[in-house]
Structure 1
Amino acid sequence: MKAIPLIIVLIAAGSAFAAITTVGRFSTGDMSGWEEKTLRGKKKSVYTLVREGEHNVLKAESHGSASGLIYRIKFDSRQNPILRWSWKVSGTMKKGDEQSRAGDDYPARVYVVFPRTFFWQTRAVNYIWANRLAKGASVPNAFAPKNIRMVAVESGPANAGRWVAEERNIHEDYVKLFGEEPPRAGAIAIMTDTDNTGEDAVAWYGDITLSAK
């Protein structure tokens, strides 16, 4: 997917929050604050709340499509660096390739966006369930190498069909990836997309939180 248009639409005002903030309250069926953003000329991925066990989760389906959900919130990653979430995928992309535009599709991804005065200076850390990239590795995005760095939090189909809980230090990741101190973050986004490979993908997202530790 072409990531720059997604970044542009993420620039927005947010709100202050306490030590722990639940950005995605999917387990309670609450989708307030989340906005759908589509890419011009692209089919929409479908996001719906579904019941799994005793909780609701967010299900994402992509059939050659690319669109995301965005939660706009301003925060200082020095004060609230810890991002936690859970996710599950049905599988990865057979044609997926993190280092090519033709293969820039992922069953699941979570963005943290750092807007600046000018949109072309906006940066984003993109946590992906990678197709080929080794777990823990990072690469520039094929469409926006100066603006987006992708981190393979999970990789391959080995854990497909299982819920996996994740935790990342956003501030440390940004400094490592971009070699500079970050500005205030401006949004969290999720996306399941298969517009470049034309394949199908299904993913599920659990609650997403930000906290000081």
Structure 2
Amino acid sequence: MLRPRSNVGQNTKAGQPHPSVISNGSFSSVTTVRFPLLLLAGSLLSVLLVAVAGPPSLRIGDFSGQAPSNSVPDGWEQIRFGDNESSTRYDLVRRDSAVVLRARSSNGASGLITHQRVDLEQYPILEWRWRVDRLSAGADVTKETRADAAARVYVTFDYDGLGLLDRIRLALLRRVGYSDAPSRALNYLWARENGQERVVESPYTDQIMIMPVRSGRGQTGEWVRERRNVLADYRRAFGESPPAVNGVAIMTDTDNTADSARAFYGDIVFRPSEAGTDSVERRPSGSE
């Protein structure tokens, strides 16, 4: 009887198995070697992806992650000014499908602040969105008697280079009720009059520089997204490299004009630098 010839053993030396026949012991050895290599490759890939993605963003004002409430947002505290009994009212409300911070001021002034340290060399970009429904009539941030604004975002700095006169002035301010008065700050605001891209000294102190990043009534009632390079803005305003950020504050005030204003603030985030990022980029939030 003719039987089919087996291929096993062909082209092999006597006593050696065919390459297609692998013993259990050989398979286990290969698996034992390959598995750690695969784990190492996966770990290296994860590290590479994190390096490419860069450091995570710092969410300073996470209003959208909280529930609507009449209380001050988590991680924030109220700033009151001297004997002013009429304070701006702040609460978390749902507006346009997200929880945001609402500010309502009527002949009053107060703010909210969160104390957090940020290294601008690593996180120079500040992003937030805001909406102003009503501007205070007669406001002028360059005049002490009319220095109101419907919406402000302050970035405060851990600055220890004040001269003697400024240190005395700061100590007096803190003693009479301005306990959160910063030693140095940038103030981004929505001004009543057109004045974008100016750097204006505060009428109260030359250690606070004002930057009107939005002005006028043209976009009232709309959500507007802002993006600032705080590192570049500080150098432009003060002519030197900045110290670490030690806080962010927001304020809507109408005490000087005895008028009223209403504004909304969305999440506030510090981000790492990006290649090709301009120092200033502004666009309506609906353009994304």
TM class by shorter-chain length?
0.7 to 0.9
Count of residue pairs brought into register by the alignment: 195
Rounded Cα–Cα distance in structure 1 between residues aligned with 2:81 and 2:259:
17
Q: Is the 8 A contact 1:65 1:195 kept in 2?
A: yes
- Cα deviation for residue 116 of structure 1 reads 2.5
Q: Is the 8 A contact 1:98 1:132 kept in 2?
A: no
Q: Secondary structure at the match of 2:115?
A: strand
Aligned partner of 1:212: which letter? P
- Rg larger in 1 or in 2? 2
Rounded Cα–Cα distance in structure 2 between residues aligned with 1:187 and 1:74:
6
What's the counterpart of residue 62 of structure 1?
A: 105
Q: Secondary structure at the match of 1:27?
A: helix
Residue 198 (structure 2) aligned to one of 114, 123, 137: 137
What's the counterpart of residue 130 of structure 2?
A: 87
Q: Is the 8 A contact 1:19 1:80 kept in 2?
A: no
What's the counterpart of residue 253 of structure 2?
A: 193
Aligned partner of 1:157: which letter? R
Q: Which has the higher contact order (CA 8 A, sep 6+)?
A: 1
Q: Secondary structure at the match of 1:172?
A: helix
What's the counterpart of residue 14 of structure 2?
A: none
What's the counterpart of residue 16 of structure 2?
A: none
Q: Secondary structure at the match of 1:90?
A: strand
Rounded Cα–Cα distance in structure 2 between residues aligned with 1:70 and 1:111:
9
- Cα deviation for residue 90 of structure 1 reads 1.1
- Cα deviation for residue 91 of structure 1 reads 2.5
- Cα deviation for residue 102 of structure 1 reads 1.4
What's the counterpart of residue 285 of structure 2?
A: none
**C-alpha distance after superposition, 1:168-205 (max 9, x if no partner):** 00010000000111111100000000111111000000
Rounded Cα–Cα distance in structure 2 between residues aligned with 1:94 and 1:45:
17
Does residue 158 of the first structure (1) align with residue 221 of the second (2)? no
Question: Which runs of structure 2 are paired with 1:51-130 in the superposition (5 Å)?
Answer: 51-117=94-160, 120=170, 122-130=183-191
- Cα deviation for residue 147 of structure 1 reads 0.8
Q: Is the 8 A contact 1:26 1:207 kept in 2?
A: yes
- Cα deviation for residue 27 of structure 1 reads 1.1
Rounded Cα–Cα distance in structure 1 between residues aligned with 2:241 and 2:144:
28
- Cα deviation for residue 53 of structure 1 reads 2.8
Residue 64 (structure 2) aligned to one of 27, 32, 43: 27
TM-score normalised by L of structure 2: 0.65
Aligned partner of 1:49: which letter? L
Rounded Cα–Cα distance in structure 2 between residues aligned with 1:96 and 1:149:
17
Q: Secondary structure at the match of 1:67?
A: strand
Q: Is the 8 A contact 1:77 1:171 kept in 2?
A: yes
Q: Is the 8 A contact 2:135 2:260 kept in 1?
A: no
**C-alpha distance after superposition, 1:109-148 (max 9, x if no partner):** 000001234664821000000112412222001111x111
TM-score normalised by L of structure 1: 0.87
- Any gaps of 5 or more consecutive residues in structure 1? 1-17
Aligned partner of 1:19: which letter? P
Percent identity, aligned pairs only? 38
- Relative to total residues, which structure has the larger strand share, 1 or 2? 1
What's the counterpart of residue 36 of structure 1?
A: 78
Q: Is the 8 A contact 1:98 1:133 kept in 2?
A: no
Rounded Cα–Cα distance in structure 2 between residues aligned with 1:53 and 1:166:
18
**C-alpha distance after superposition, 1:78-116 (max 9, x if no partner):** 211100000000132221112101110000000000123
- Relative to total residues, which structure has the larger helix share, 1 or 2? 2
